Amino acid sequence: MQQITITTPDDWHLHFRDGEMLGETVPATARCFSRAIVMPNLVPPIVNAKLAMEYKNRILNARNEGSRFEPLMTLYLTNQTSQQDIIDAKQASVVAAKLYPAGATTNSAEAVSGIEALYPVFEEMQKQGMLLLVHGEVTENHVDIFDREKVFIDQYMAKIVKDFPALKVVFEHITTRDAAEFVLSSSHKVAATITPQHLLLNRNDLLVGGIRPHNYCLPVLKRSTHQNALRKAVASGSKQFFLGTDSAPHAKMAKENACGCAGCYSAWSALELYTQVFDELDALDKLEGFASFHGADFYGLPRNTSKLTLVKQQWTVPETVTLPNGEAIVPFFAGQAVNWKLA
Ligand code: NCD
Ligand code: ZN
């Protein structure tokens, strides 16, 4: 196949950041996605309806003239989150709340320790029909970083899903065969997002021939058996898997560092890279479901009605993207060839 036309997709997990960065990140995503689930891990985090609405307005104002891109807002769960916070957020059309185990990733210092303390909040979310989005990794020092997702499933995820059978749960950016199997063995109230980097790469791409800080994200890339399990999951066409880029920009200096931070800024190439993966898997007929239908259906939102076309044509991802303030970001797949291009 040399070209493919699909319903305009949505990105069900990304990080726009704030301030001047929005002038870069919002148009980059809006070039091909109609809506996006916006992560709340700002400093300070988005912990209530008021902060979410103010952030939403800053995102709307960063759109290009005439753009109808729609940000879907989320709340950051902390040990202080109350049931009233959930009620207020739902009323303000916040669609989901994000659970970060404390210390799991960028700006998660304020997140939750002792997940059971949040059970009244989960109860309220279940009642209000608000989705629970989960960064599924334990953070205890003694647990090997490559095992943290699997241990989280065994210690927390299985229990949350069992104790709240009517709560819709998205297992975000899954990276292991264990997580894919867990989702498939759960009810249709449980789904997962999968990033382009976890479909394209494995931990060799992080560590062989030198450390590659721009491939470092959390959860960390796993061995190829896990990568292949994720590829199989998306190629199956299961409605329980959908597109979430986890596009997460960091300044070049912050990644090319003795203690480089986690996150891949994929907004400029993610859709094209997903298309490349589905093409490699001989599963282009499953791309539209993954990118444009399964997420909207799971969230209970209307599917988009517009279309876009991708053509099989090689292009190279730029080496850097420059922010309005002159700061450089190295995009995911920088300097590498991509086989599909937005028409
Ligand atoms: C994200 C970020 O930079 O905000 N980083 C990442 O590696 N994925 C946070 C996150 O999604 O965990
Ligand atoms: Zn993320």
Strands annotated E in 109-228: 131-134, 169-171, 190-194
Using CB atoms within 10 A of its CB, is residue 253 exposed (0-12), middle (13-18) or buried (19+)? exposed
Q: Running along the chain, 343 residues long, what does each successive block of 10 average in pLDDT?
A: 97 98 97 98 97 98 98 96 98 97 76 84 98 96 97 96 98 98 98 99 98 98 98 98 98 97 98 98 98 98 98 98 92 98 97
Q: How far is the CA of 174 from the centre of ligand 1 (A)?
A: 13
Using CB atoms within 10 A of its CB, is residue 18 exposed (0-12), middle (13-18) or buried (19+)? middle
Q: Choose one of 15, 107, 195 to mutate for the ligand 1 pocket test, by most ligand atoms within 8 angstroms of C-beta.
A: 15
Rounded Cα distance, 29 and 10, in Å: 9
- What residues contact residue 222 under an 8 Å CB cut-off, 6+ apart? 146, 175, 176, 198, 202, 203
Q: Choose one of 218, 265, 332 to mutate for the ligand 1 pocket test, by most ligand atoms within 8 angstroms of C-beta.
A: 218
Rounded Cα distance, 32 and 30, in Å: 5
Q: How far is the CA of 107 from the centre of ligand 1 (A)?
A: 8
Rounded Cα distance, 171 and 136, in Å: 7
Local structure of 322: helix, strand or coil: strand
Say if pTM beats, i.e. exceeds, 0.85. Answer: yes
What residues are annotated to the active site? 246
pLDDT of residue 267: 98
Ligand nearest to the CA of 219: 1
Using omega within 30 degrees of 0 as the cis cutoff, is the peptide bond preceding 219 cis? yes
Which residue is closest in CA terms to ligand 1's atom 1? 263
pLDDT of residue 104: 74
- Number of helices (H) and strands (E) in the chain: give both, helices first: 14, 13
pLDDT of residue 113: 73
Which residue is closest in CA terms to ligand 1's atom 6? 263
pLDDT of residue 109: 74
The reply to whether ligand 1 has any atom less than 6 angstroms from the CB of 221 is no
Q: How far is the CA of 15 from the centre of ligand 2 (A)?
A: 6
Which residue is closest in CA terms to ligand 1's atom 12? 105
Query: Contact at 8 Å (CB) between 12 and 243?
Result: yes
The reply to whether ligand 1 has any atom less than 6 angstroms from the CB of 263 is yes
Query: Closest ligand 1 atom, CA of 15?
Result: 4
pLDDT of residue 101: 87
Query: Closest ligand 1 atom, CA of 135?
Result: 12
Rounded Cα distance, 205 and 343, in Å: 29
pLDDT of residue 116: 85
Residue 183 CB neighbour total at 10 angstroms: 22
pLDDT of residue 112: 74
Rounded Cα distance, 167 and 190, in Å: 8
pLDDT of residue 111: 73
The secondary structure element, H or E, covering residue 178 is helix 177-185
The reply to whether ligand 1 has any atom less than 6 angstroms from the CB of 195 is no
CA atoms within 13 A on the CB side of 214: 15
pLDDT of residue 115: 85
Rounded Cα distance, 316 and 335, in Å: 6
Q: How far is the CA of 7 from the centre of ligand 2 (A)?
A: 24
Local structure of 279: helix, strand or coil: helix
